[in-house]
């Protein structure tokens, strides 16, 4: 079961990230200038808005059916993107891809946590976060050589359609341990709000940094971003285990405090090496945060509303990403970006200390 839902996660997040590096080729193909933001913003906006609806649907339906519907919709939108004759159709197709892909993360997270149980939720969802990291880091890397060899339309079909079709077929038979048809409304308890608030704070700072990475790190340090992310994959495993063994509070507070300190040191540094080191530590720490906040939300949610709670979590994340993008546009220089991120992650540490579960689940 886990392999199938990891495949679904890879398909969804590869679709999210492969298009932006192909913007110039796509522009040549449709006879117009295509800014990378034109391929990113419609996807992200639809992605963020659609999470709660998909989460609620996954709680009311069989998990495999919800995943299959999401992935088949993603494949159909991918075909539209690959054959798009104009920028307007590209925008519609990217929005449709985002809306369809939003069904995967909350459904997969709830399915993994339900099957593993609260005492192993962190370890269960950490595999999903590794798949997210691989897709996020690997999609852009393979998109360019594929487009060089086959053209951007064929590359889009290979990256945006075939994985979604394969994952949809694999996931359709899956069943959820939760009772299908249960209608349990997610009530915003203190524990859930703490998880959702942390997501917004963390992502706002992270996306401000990512959006202005070349300004913060320098144009010659672009390769550090995927390297820091690759190191972060190791932290995903460690943090997921720590959330199960210690409870989510301690690993979240430590991760947020480490990231805040790294941001602060980078903001105050005069050495470019120290700035690069601090920013890279913060990027790696972001990946360590993901399984811990997921475990917190899954533990705090009612059994029959776990996908709904995860849907709100992901909307909170992408709301934070949107805020971070706006902050990056308004920021005046790298030190402002880094100092603001240090404050934001410090607030996230405080929220986690006050609201996250402090003990593991007892058998």
Q: Is 109 helix (H, G, I), strand (E, B) or coil?
A: helix
User: Does residue 183 lie in a domain region?
Assistant: no
Say yes or no: 13 and 75 in one domain. Answer: yes
> Is residue 312 within 8 Å of 50, Cβ to Cβ?
no
Looking at every residue in the chain, the average pLDDT score rounds to 89
Q: Into how many domains does the chain fold?
A: 2
Say yes or no: 214 and 289 in one domain. Answer: yes
Among 120, 136, 171, the domain boundary falls at 171
Contacts of residue 154, Cβ cutoff 8 Å, sequence gap at least 6: 82, 146
Among 171, 204, 235, the domain boundary falls at 171
User: Does residue 120 lie in a domain region?
Assistant: yes
Say yes or no: 92 and 16 in one domain. Answer: yes
User: Does residue 332 lie in a domain region?
Assistant: yes
pLDDT in tens, 211-267: 788 888 877 787 788 888 888 889 999 999 999 999 999 999 999 999 999 999 999
Question: Looking at the predicted structure, is the pLDDT value of residue 89 above 70?
Answer: yes
Confidence of residue 352 (pLDDT cuts 50, 70, 90): very high
Among 144, 171, 198, the domain boundary falls at 171
* Closest CA relative to residue 107, chosen from 297, 308, 258: 308
Say yes or no: 150 and 299 in one domain. Answer: no
Question: Looking at the predicted structure, is the pLDDT value of residue 360 above 60?
Answer: yes
User: Does residue 178 lie in a domain region?
Assistant: no
Say yes or no: 24 and 77 in one domain. Answer: yes
User: Does residue 65 lie in a domain region?
Assistant: yes
Using CA atoms in the order 168, 174, 179, 184, what is the torsion angle rounded to 10 degrees? -30
Say yes or no: 201 and 319 in one domain. Answer: yes
The rounded distance, in Å, linking the Cα atoms of 259 and 277 is 11
Say yes or no: 322 and 232 in one domain. Answer: yes
pTM: 0.88
Say yes or no: 126 and 247 in one domain. Answer: no
The rounded distance, in Å, linking the Cα atoms of 126 and 105 is 12
Q: What domain range is 140 assigned to?
A: 2-171
pLDDT in tens, 93-130: 999 999 999 999 999 998 898 888 888 989 999 999 99
Instruction: Assign residue 139 the CATH number of its domain.
Output: 1.20.1250.20
């Amino acid at each position: 079961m886990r392999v199938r839902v990891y495949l679904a996660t890879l398909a969804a997040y590869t679709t999210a990230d492969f298009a932006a590096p192909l913007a110039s080729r796509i522009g040549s193909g449709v006879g117009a200038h295509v800014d990378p933001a034109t391929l990113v913003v419609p996807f992200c906006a639809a992605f963020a808005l659609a999470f709660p609806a998909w989460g609620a649907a996954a709680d009311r339906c069989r998990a495999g059916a919800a995943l299959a519907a999401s992935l088949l919709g993603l494949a159909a939108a991918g075909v539209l993107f690959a054959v798009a004759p104009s920028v307007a159709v590209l925008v519609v197709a990217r929005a449709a891809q985002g809306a369809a892909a939003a069904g995967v993360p909350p459904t997969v997270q709830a399915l993994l946590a339900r099957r593993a149980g609260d005492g192993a939720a962190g370890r269960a969802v950490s595999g999903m976060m590794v798949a997210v990291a691989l897709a996020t880091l690997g999609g852009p890397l393979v998109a360019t050589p594929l487009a060089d060899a086959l053209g951007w339309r064929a590359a889009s079909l290979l990256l945006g359609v075939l994985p979604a079709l394969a994952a949809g077929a694999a996931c359709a038979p899956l069943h959820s341990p939760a009772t299908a048809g249960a209608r349990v409304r997610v009530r915003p308890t203190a524990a859930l709000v703490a998880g959702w608030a942390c997501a917004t704070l963390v992502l706002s700072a992270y996306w401000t940094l990512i959006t202005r990475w070349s300004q913060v790190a320098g144009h010659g340090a672009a390769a550090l971003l995927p390297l820091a992310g690759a190191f972060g994959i190791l932290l995903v495993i460690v943090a997921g285990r720590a959330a199960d063994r210690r409870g989510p509070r301690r690993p979240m507070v430590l991760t947020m405090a480490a990231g805040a300190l790294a941001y602060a040191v980078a903001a105050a540094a005069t050495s470019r090496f120290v700035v690069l080191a601090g920013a890279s530590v913060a990027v790696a720490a972001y990946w360590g945060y993901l399984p811990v906040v997921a475990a917190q939300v899954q533990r705090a949610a009612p059994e029959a509303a776990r996908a709904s709670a995860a849907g709100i979590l992901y909307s909170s994340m992408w709301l934070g990403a949107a805020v971070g993008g706006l902050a990056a546009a308004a920021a005046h220089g790298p030190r402002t970006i880094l100092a603001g991120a240090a404050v934001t992650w410090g607030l996230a540490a405080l929220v986690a200390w006050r609201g996250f579960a402090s003990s593991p689940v007892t058998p």
